[in-house]
A and B are shown apart, each in its own frame.
Chain A
């Protein structure tokens, strides 16, 4: 009998040991401090929100600390992006939005993280409202990308002249990061293509709420690819004299060409059709010749692979941040590594497709979000965060307007929207 009792005791013991013995999660305390721009020193924050995103898990902790530019939070060790959004008021001045962000912060022990802040300044110039970089597909299934375009938009309440506005492409990829030397990201954008809108100053006015369509090849592409668009009504096109007969451009003489300042390729410039680069607008007061003479630079880095480290060099131009009017970082979630511009210019990214070589990306663009209406004028979002300001992976406006093909199956667009989401009747 005693053996039976012993057995019963042995096998019921585990029932009693059902305590919550799950190990506690690893965590470290970090202090986040916003370093204010000089003009805001001493002014209390009206509202403050910190967004701490764990890049491994995707988990985000949002903390609101109104009246404070600092916060302490307990997080799992890991790699983080930390963002700050707040508002502050100078004596007698209107409220100003303040943002700060740092990316790729390694947190493995208690530490203090400093976030250099910048005030969002309303851009008194054209902004990029849409980039159609993915192109379309031919009925054979092959890609077709002569129909890429930009749309620039006057988001202000007054006429802006597009003359001299420079469209640029970043030298670096948002999906590939190296230790670049020199690292000039805080003061300049490294670019590998510069094309300027012609004009002597007041040739190309853009009224409030109006757009400019800038196409790669401003022709009716439907004659080549029935799935494509008619871009013959574009305001401008970029044209390249190619050194290779294999790759030649088409020039529509009825549409003015952009002034080509520089492009890395000896053939024809096409936008990265997976969206791995940043595109932007700049005002360069010194003009082409002076700029090109003074801003060429080379950047060195090591390509470290399992096979070893290989010294590499890239060449391009550095474009000072204070000349940049607008910039949009493009990437894809699965391969995103960094923003190739300073956070004060753009602290997010937008995308078409979610994985590398995503075949569903074709026939899609990124379009700036509708914010409000000022009378009849549409006001678009512009907070210098492309992740917040753009609707990603939406039907391009020209496809909507022309009711053209929206995917390889041949389906056509049936609705027109302001921003890819908001109905035009809004």
Chain B
């Protein structure tokens, strides 16, 4: 409850800050305070295409041309009949309160956000660890799983401005806390903290802004599992990748810690109005897993690197981007000798898990914008490759999943019937598996290899996600709007419906 109050307090602070901002707004059309103008000019789809470039905090003033603050509350749910990944579960459903602001003032931009989510992750299997995508493959797991209750608190902000003759700077801070738990056996209780700091310096060259950014993330997760049933406790495993686990410590280590750092740098270029843009970034993330019950024994560690390059071109009504990314992860099993009492001497560290992935994609959006309407037509096509390996003699397991994904979307926003603003969006995203293979599992059986096979089977199916969204906003005095949003999603897997999802929310904007 204390955290909720804190989050709401931050949101209120941001809101009040934004409330006083309009008199200083200098960007955008003369009637930027108009709810219609703001709703039409402030969107995320256009800038999302250049998102990798605009993530540099010094370029934050170039993200939008008008200020905007949204306060939203609602419920969001998506449920997959076949889980995309057993460790991430069959979807999520949660109520949310979200506040975000983007304020342009002078040559500076101030952003802020605060979020609170409370809900469930459905039927998580083969992992009792939060943040499956970050910590893969080193989960603590059991053979039972189930729904997980989740609370998320997140807040952050940034400031960017200029000084001197065309110099730029910016800084941002974001913090996210997650709590996952279950009230039936097995009873995990996970607390996650992610603190992200970023800073950047840059310079204007004509209409272009070039910025060099540095960022760092501190990651921590404490993870504990309890069994209280009189009928017995499940066995806890420490997974090491592709259906394998650290056999020696199976059944022990009900309490563990994950701790990691990510750091990185990027160089980004973006035009004030139209022209080319691009960025290149490098990030490295390392973490280790410790078993608290065994004197914080560091059983696994991993090192992950990401390279991203983006190049694109934009005008007022067209934006096109090519993005290329490459990732590598190497996971290590720390090997220990015979314990002397409670102390395990480390005798070796074996690199047994490898992941290599890259993706390359083209995305674009065409926009037709008037004073009372906006039409966006966008599309993307991507090719991705991922290879996961677990190699420790005599085991050599490899899973390859290549895919082509493509999609289109259309968004239409227009002012109708005087004080009403209507928005409609439709999107279709498809994934076609390309070269896929899963080798090295001959004769292997057991719960975790079954989960691996299920995850692989999902990746080998054609998938689609259809989205429809409608929103209506009432224009209020002083440029404010209040509205409702409704959306539905239909996941499809192998030609059949694979669940459903919807979102309903109320949004107050100014």
Contact A177 to B338, CB < 8 A, known contacts A12-B360, A335-B252, A408-B231 = yes
| Residues of A with C-beta under 8 A to B389 | 22
Question: Interface code A304-346, partner B: CB below 8 Å = 1, 0 otherwise?
Answer: 1110010000000000000000000000111101100000000
At the interface, yes or no: B354 with Cβ under 8 Å from chain A? yes
At the interface, yes or no: B352 with Cβ under 8 Å from chain A? yes
List B residues 322-381 near A (Cβ within 8 Å).
322, 324, 326, 330, 333, 335-343, 347-348, 350-352, 354, 356, 358, 360, 362
List B residues 283-302 near A (Cβ within 8 Å).
295
At the interface, yes or no: B387 with Cβ under 8 Å from chain A? yes
B348 engages A358 (CB within 8 Å): no
* Closest residue of A by beta carbon distance from B240: A57
| Residues of B with C-beta under 8 A to A141 | 230
Contact A359 to B235, CB < 8 A, known contacts A79-B347, A304-B343, A305-B343 = no
Pick the contact of A304 from B342, B358, B383 — CB < 8 Å? B342
A75 engages B338 (CB within 8 Å): no
At the interface, yes or no: A302 with Cβ under 8 Å from chain B? yes
A76 engages B350 (CB within 8 Å): yes
Pick the contact of A59 from B335, B356, B362, B395 — CB < 8 Å? B395
| Residues of B with C-beta under 8 A to A106 | 337, 347
At the interface, yes or no: B34 with Cβ under 8 Å from chain A? no
At the interface, yes or no: A78 with Cβ under 8 Å from chain B? yes
A54 engages B340 (CB within 8 Å): no
Q: How far is the CA of A235 from the CA of B383 in the complex (A)?
A: 76
At the interface, yes or no: B247 with Cβ under 8 Å from chain A? yes
B338 engages A59 (CB within 8 Å): no
B337 engages A59 (CB within 8 Å): no
* Closest residue of A by beta carbon distance from B230: A141
Q: How far is the CA of A307 from the CA of B182 in the complex (A)?
A: 34
| Residues of B with C-beta under 8 A to A177 | 338-340
At the interface, yes or no: B248 with Cβ under 8 Å from chain A? yes
Q: How far is the CA of A177 from the CA of B358 in the complex (A)?
A: 47
Pick the contact of A10 from B230, B324, B340 — CB < 8 Å? B324
At the interface, yes or no: A123 with Cβ under 8 Å from chain B? no
| Residues of A with C-beta under 8 A to B229 | 359
At the interface, yes or no: B418 with Cβ under 8 Å from chain A? no
At the interface, yes or no: A241 with Cβ under 8 Å from chain B? no
* Closest residue of B by beta carbon distance from A62: B394
At the interface, yes or no: B244 with Cβ under 8 Å from chain A? yes
Number of A-B contacts (CB under 8 A): 148
**Which size class do A's interface residues fall under?**
35 or more
A332 engages B251 (CB within 8 Å): yes
Q: How far is the CA of A23 from the CA of B390 in the complex (A)?
A: 11
Contact A334 to B341, CB < 8 A, known contacts A359-B231, A359-B233 = no
Tell me the smallest distance from the CB of A49 to a CB of chain B, in Å: 15
| Residues of A with C-beta under 8 A to B232 | 358-360
At the interface, yes or no: B311 with Cβ under 8 Å from chain A? yes
List A residues 58-89 near B (Cβ within 8 Å).
58-59, 61, 74-79
At the interface, yes or no: B246 with Cβ under 8 Å from chain A? yes
* Closest residue of A by beta carbon distance from B345: A106
List B residues 227-269 near A (Cβ within 8 Å).
229-233, 235-236, 240, 244-252
At the interface, yes or no: A26 with Cβ under 8 Å from chain B? yes
At the interface, yes or no: B393 with Cβ under 8 Å from chain A? yes
* Closest residue of A by beta carbon distance from B253: A334
Chain A interface mostly: loop
At the interface, yes or no: A27 with Cβ under 8 Å from chain B? yes
| Residues of B with C-beta under 8 A to A75 | 393
| Residues of A with C-beta under 8 A to B251 | 332-335, 354-356
| Residues of B with C-beta under 8 A to A357 | 233
List A residues 12-27 near B (Cβ within 8 Å).
12, 14-15, 18, 21-27
Question: Interface code A393-424, partner B: CB below 8 Å = 1, 0 otherwise?
Answer: 00000000000000111000000000000000
A59 engages B311 (CB within 8 Å): no
Question: Interface code A130-155, partner B: CB below 8 Å = 1, 0 otherwise?
Answer: 00000000000100000000000000
Contact A23 to B354, CB < 8 A, known contacts A59-B393, A76-B392 = yes
* Closest residue of B by beta carbon distance from A54: B392
Chain B interface mostly: strand
| Residues of A with C-beta under 8 A to B391 | 22, 24-25
A77 engages B326 (CB within 8 Å): no
Tell me the smallest distance from the CB of A217 to a CB of chain B, in Å: 25
| Residues of A with C-beta under 8 A to B385 | 14, 18
Contact A178 to B231, CB < 8 A, known contacts A7-B311, A23-B354 = no
List A residues 71-116 near B (Cβ within 8 Å).
74-79, 104, 106, 108
| Residues of A with C-beta under 8 A to B233 | 355, 357-359
* Closest residue of A by beta carbon distance from B251: A334
| Residues of A with C-beta under 8 A to B348 | 77-78, 108
A333 engages B250 (CB within 8 Å): yes
* Closest residue of A by beta carbon distance from B325: A14
Contact A57 to B247, CB < 8 A, known contacts A14-B360, A77-B335, A79-B335 = yes
Pick the contact of B356 from A22, A179, A360 — CB < 8 Å? A22
Q: How far is the CA of A257 from the CA of B360 in the complex (A)?
A: 80
* Closest residue of B by beta carbon distance from A336: B248
Pick the contact of A337 from B235, B250, B338 — CB < 8 Å? B338
Q: How far is the CA of A302 from the CA of B340 in the complex (A)?
A: 8
Pick the contact of B247 from A23, A55, A409 — CB < 8 Å? A55
List A residues 352-382 near B (Cβ within 8 Å).
354-360
A57 engages B246 (CB within 8 Å): yes
Q: How far is the CA of A357 from the CA of B245 in the complex (A)?
A: 21
Q: B: which residues have CB within 8 A of A?
A: 229-233, 235-236, 240, 244-252, 295, 309, 311, 322, 324, 326, 330, 333, 335-343, 347-348, 350-352, 354, 356, 358, 360, 362, 383, 385, 387, 389, 391-396, 398
> Can you list 27 residue pairs at the A/B interface with Cβ under 8 Å?
A7-B322, A10-B324, A12-B360, A14-B360, A22-B356, A23-B351, A23-B354, A25-B352, A27-B393, A54-B392, A56-B335, A57-B392, A58-B245, A58-B247, A61-B394, A78-B347, A78-B348, A104-B337, A106-B337, A141-B230, A303-B341, A303-B342, A305-B341, A305-B343, A338-B338, A355-B236, A357-B233
A-B residue pairs, 4 tightest by C-beta: A334-B251, A58-B247, A355-B251, A360-B232
Q: A: which residues have CB within 8 A of B?
A: 7, 10-12, 14-15, 18, 21-27, 54-59, 61, 74-79, 104, 106, 108, 141, 177-179, 302-306, 309, 332-335, 337-338, 354-360, 407-409
Given contacts A22-B354, A177-B340, A408-B231, 19 further A-B contacts (CB under 8 A): A10-B322, A11-B324, A12-B360, A25-B396, A57-B247, A57-B333, A57-B392, A58-B247, A61-B393, A76-B350, A77-B347, A177-B339, A178-B340, A178-B341, A305-B341, A334-B235, A355-B235, A359-B230, A407-B231
